Amino acid sequence: MKLFEQKFYESMQSNVALLDKVTRFIVTTKGKQMRPMFVFLCAKLVGEVNEKSFRGASMIELIHTATLVHDDVVDESFKRRNFFSINALWKNKIAVLVGDYLLSKAVLLSTDHKDFDLLAVISRTIREMAEGELLQLEKARKLDITEEVYYEIIRQKTATLIAACCEIGVLSASSDETLAKKMMEFGTHTGMAFQIKDDLFDYLTTTIIGKPVGIDIKEQKMTLPLIHALKIASEKDRKYFFTTIKRYNNDQKRVKELIEFVKKSGGLDYAVGKMKEYQQKAKDILAGFPESEAKKSLHLMLDYVIERKF
C-alpha cells in the first residue's frame, strides 16, 4: 500500500501548477483506500501482485476520486471526511475539470500500457456508475423506488466499482476470464452489502461515522430500511410519512419521527438481514478457492464491510 500511494500520486501528476496543488490535497485527504486493497488481494488470490496490478489499482482510485469530486459538486457538499471538499476550496468549475482530468488519466493509464482488458472494465464501470446516479435522480422526483429498483441503483452506483476492483485484480495476475467473472460477482455482492451498511448509518445516533443522522431523508433518498417500512405501513402512515419526505424533509421533528417509525417497523432488521445475505453470497464464492493468506484477508475485508463504524 505504501508503494501504491507513491504510484497513485505519480499517476495524477500534471505540469499545471494548480492541478498539481489540487492532486496533492487529494492524496493528503484520502480515505480508507479499501478499493486498491481489493485489487491487490484478488491478484494474490490467483497469482502475484505486479506492475499491472498497481496500474489497475491506480485506475480504480482515479475513477473513485473523480466520482467523489463530481458528487460533491452535484450534492453541493462542502465537506468530505471532515476536510473541505474540492468545490469548497476551489469552486465548482475547477472541481468539475479536476474530476474530468482524473477520469482521463485513468483511461490513459490503460491505453499507454496497452491494458485493453482493464480499459474495457473501467469503461463499463464509469458508464454504470453514471447510469446509477441518473436512475436515482429520476426516481427521487417521484419517490417511487421499489426494493428491486433500489438494488439496481446501489449495484450500479457502488457495487460496480468494487466488482471492477476484484475483476481487475484477477486480470492483472491471470488470463483466466472465468476466474475474473467469478471474482467480479464476489465484488458485486460485497459492494451491495457495503452500501446497505452505509444506508443503515442514517438511522444510527452515533457520532463516530461522520455522517449526520437523517441526511438521506433530508436529501429525499429512498434507502432499504425506509422502503421496507413504508411497504408494510398502513395507508394512513404511508401517506403521512411520504408527506414528511416530500415537504417536511428539513423539519427536524418530522425527520426524527420518521426515523423512529422505520426502527419500530423493523426496517433496520430487514436491511441487516439483506446485508448479511449478500455477505454470505460473497463468502460462498470465496469458498471455491484454496486456502491462502489472500483468501483469509478477503474474509476479513468482508467482515469489515458489515461491522465498520464509519
Mark whether 147 and 268 lie in a shared domain: no
Mark whether 12 and 128 lie in a shared domain: yes
Domain range for 201: 186-292
Q: Is residue 241 part of a domain?
A: yes
Task: Count how many Cα atoms sit within 13 Å of the Cα of residue 159 in the half-sphere of its side chain.
Answer: 26
Q: How confident is the model at residue 207, as a pLDDT?
A: 43
Q: How confident is the model at residue 208, as a pLDDT?
A: 43
Q: Is residue 28 part of a domain?
A: yes
Mean pLDDT of 48-74: 87
The strand ranges marked E within the chain are: 79-80, 83-84
- This prediction's pTM: 0.88
Supply the CATH number for residue 168's domain.
1.10.600.10
Average pLDDT of the chain?
Answer: 86
Q: How confident is the model at residue 251, as a pLDDT?
A: 83
Q: What is the pLDDT of residues 176-193, one digit of tens each?
A: 999 999 999 999 999 999
Q: Is residue 308 part of a domain?
A: no
- Whether the per-residue pLDDT at 145 is higher than 50: the answer is yes
DSSP string, 203-246: G---STTSS-TTHHHHTT---HHHHHHHHHS-HHHHHHHHHHHH
Side chain identity at residue 269, one-letter code: D
